[in-house]
Amino acid sequence: MAAAPLAVFKLWLDDYVRREGAFEVQAAANHAVGLAERRLGMTIDELDKVAARGVASCRNDHLEVLRSANFSASPVKEFSIIGPDGRTLCSDLGAAPGERAVVASGPIAGRADAALELVQVGSRQERFLRLRRPTITGANVLAALLPPDLLLTPISAAGGPVLSQTQMRLAGGAIVGEAGPAALPTESFVASARSERFGLSVMVLLPRSVKFRQHQDLESIGYMIAGAMALLLFGFAALRPRRTRDNPVVEIEKALKAGEFVPYYQPVIDITTARIRGAEVLMRWRKPDGTIIPPGHFIPLAESSGLIAEMMRHLMRAVRDEMGDAVIDRPFLRFGFNLSACHFRDDSIVADVREIFEGSTIRLAQLVLELTERHPLDNLTSARRVIAALQGLGVKVAIDDVGAGHSGLSYILKLGVDIIKIDKIFIDALGHDSNSTTIIETLMDLARNLRMDVIAEGVENFEQVVALRERGIRAAQGYVFAPPLPGSAFLQLIEATDPVASVQEATLPARRPLALPLAPPLGPRAA
């Protein structure tokens, strides 16, 4: 008797899920096309501005205009000049452009002077979209490369990412890019959308096994009704918790409750004195069997599911408890935490920081909150307000991966941050690419004028340390010093390099600096 109404309810619920699934995938496809049109349109506008300034060659002043354009156009990986023979002559990155083979191309509606191409770059034949338009003078052509993955972020009707498979094609059928799982169940919701302006089409597939939040709520109600009827009919309570098996979000929730997410510390070194200035705090998932899972496997899912805020609170408490005794006699140590764009939408992070660290031995002035660039900021005005509130507490705010993410120069100028962290891509090019060196020196001048600190990321050899020191950079982090360390190892490193007895002798001027590097150089696999 309890099963009969539940069966009817289940039939209705299945029909509801079919309709909801069809609506979700269509909304995701429409969003992906809209995102592509906005970013491609913004890139076309930037190319027009560059052309209007007379850029037509590889002269240094023309390359400076291209670099400035790249700071402004966040989706663009590279601006370049193409010769009459189709060969790329130079780019704003300055390095010798690799091989670019055109796979397919098509016109842009309303722009007879412009075209959209699919090109393969370098020996690995990575695919990029390339917008091109002629220069005002000369036979050369202006072009801009865009990574397809910046256009393949389907969003559901509720506003969150969709765990789906997305495929984008040009008008002729050539595949631009794909995102999501490589294989899906045979039963999937399918929807498509098309950009008439750029000739792009997007197809989104979502497994029918995915449960939407409304589905879960209604299913819960159905089970509650069936359980109540069974209680009345049989005279006992049998509450059977509903568990979503093989659901990675549920697994992350359980791991969070079990305290399996732990902080790792990558030292930040003063390369003029070899003294440890603090650490960037990185999250690792340490499973009960001892397996360590890197953040790339769980942070994106934590952000899309809304768990990232609680994970960050957990991480901050762990650092407070683990490092509290070490900082009592070492007030110079700073701890940096990577925040995502969602943390800057409201003042919640301000309240979290105040609640966790006020009254602790780690002072608010010893905290650095880093804006990472996995997703662009939705609202710069709201972000600036949150940053100002954090700075009012004494917290420092940094922009991570400067020069290689969504930020560009506008983030540095508009957000009023305290620290900029130069991306590894420029550090790797030191000594090999004069343009990367120029960019680093330009960032240093900008930081000095705006009274910002600078930290170099991804330093992997001693030659880079010397080159950075010669250019006035004082702080750096990377495998040449040490990989990310568990808390116990980092505490041992602090005690070895700055014993409490030495720290307390604050007036000791003749303290012998440590020799750099602090640890043998390690490759990326050592992480």
Query: Do 370 and 450 lie in a common domain?
Result: yes
In this structure, which long-range contacts are made by residues 431-437, counting pairs with CB atoms below 8 Å and at least 24 apart in sequence? 431/463, 431/464, 431/467, 433/93, 433/94, 433/95, 434/94, 435/63, 435/67, 435/92, 435/93, 435/94, 435/95, 436/93, 436/94, 436/95, 437/471
Name the DSSP letter for residue 338: E
User: How many distinct structural domains can be found in the chain?
Assistant: 3
pLDDT of residue 3: 62
Report in angstroms the alpha-carbon separations of 261 from 144, 264, 291, 313: 41, 10, 12, 11
Query: Do 114 and 228 lie in a common domain?
Result: no
- Residue 201 is part of which domain span? 10-212
Query: Do 317 and 235 lie in a common domain?
Result: no
Mind listing the pLDDT tens digit for each residue in 127-155? 899 999 999 887 899 999 998 887 876 55
d(CA 228, CA 239): 10
Work out whether the CA dihedral 500, 506, 512, 517 comes out positive or negative. positive
Residue 219 predicted with pLDDT over 60 = no
Q: Is 255 inside a domain boundary?
A: no
The listed range with the strongest mean pLDDT (233-242, 346-355, 441-450) is 346-355
Query: Do 230 and 302 lie in a common domain?
Result: no
Average pLDDT over residues 439-445: 85
pLDDT of residue 514: 44
Residue 239 predicted with pLDDT over 70 = no
Mind listing the pLDDT tens digit for each residue in 89-127? 898 887 667 778 899 999 999 999 999 999 988 777 888
pLDDT of residue 492: 93
Q: Is 249 inside a domain boundary?
A: no
* Identity at 321, one-letter amino acid code: D
Q: Is 524 inside a domain boundary?
A: no
d(CA 81, CA 87): 9
Q: Is 3 inside a domain boundary?
A: no
Q: Is 250 inside a domain boundary?
A: no
Mind listing the pLDDT tens digit for each residue in 343-372? 888 889 999 999 999 889 999 999 999 987
First to last CA, the chain: 58
Q: At 301, is the pLDDT very low, low, confident or very high (cuts 50, 70, 90)?
A: confident
Q: Which is higher by pLDDT, 524 or 412?
A: 412
Average pLDDT over residues 160-173: 79
Query: Do 303 and 393 lie in a common domain?
Result: yes
Q: Is 316 inside a domain boundary?
A: yes
Query: Do 219 and 271 lie in a common domain?
Result: no
Query: Do 79 and 120 lie in a common domain?
Result: yes
**pTM for this predicted structure:** 0.52
Of residues 302, 262, 268, the one with CA closest to residue 283: 262
Q: Is 506 inside a domain boundary?
A: no
Q: At 158, is the pLDDT very low, low, confident or very high (cuts 50, 70, 90)?
A: low
Q: Is 527 inside a domain boundary?
A: no
Query: Do 232 and 305 lie in a common domain?
Result: no
Query: Do 163 and 66 lie in a common domain?
Result: yes
The CATH number of whichever domain residue 477 belongs to comes to 3.20.20.450
Query: Do 272 and 335 lie in a common domain?
Result: yes
Residue 527 predicted with pLDDT over 60 = no
> What is the chain's mean pLDDT, rounded?
82
Query: Do 48 and 137 lie in a common domain?
Result: yes
Query: Do 36 and 180 lie in a common domain?
Result: yes
Q: At 426, is the pLDDT very low, low, confident or very high (cuts 50, 70, 90)?
A: confident
Q: How far is CA 60 from the centre of its chain?
A: 32
Report in angstroms the alpha-carbon separations of 13 from 17, 19, 213, 224, 225: 6, 10, 13, 15, 14
The secondary structure of 466-507, three-state, reads HHHHHCCCCEECCCCCCCCEEHHHHHHHHHHHCCHHHHHCCC
DSSP class per residue in 440-470: HHHHHHHHHHTT-EEEE----SHHHHHHHHH
